[in-house]
Amino acid sequence: MDNQIAARSLEALGNETRLAVYRLLVRAGPDGLTFGQIQDALGGAASTLSHHVAALARAGLTEQQRRGRETVSTVNYAIMRDLLDYLTAECCEGVCVRETEDAA
pTM: 0.86
Tens digits of residue pLDDT in 57-93: 999 999 999 999 999 999 999 999 999 999 999 888 8
Residue 104 has pLDDT above 60, yes or no: no
Residue 42 has pLDDT above 90, yes or no: yes
At residue 72's C-alpha, the angle toward residues 75 and 4, to 5°, is 35
Angle between helices 3-13 and 16-28 (to 10 degrees): 100
Between 72 and 100, the more confident residue is: 72
pLDDT at 85: 96
Cα separation, 28 vs 49, in Å, equals 17
Topology, domain 3-86: Arc Repressor Mutant, subunit A (1.10.10)
Between 102 and 73, the more confident residue is: 73
Tens digits of residue pLDDT in 1-12: 999 999 999 999
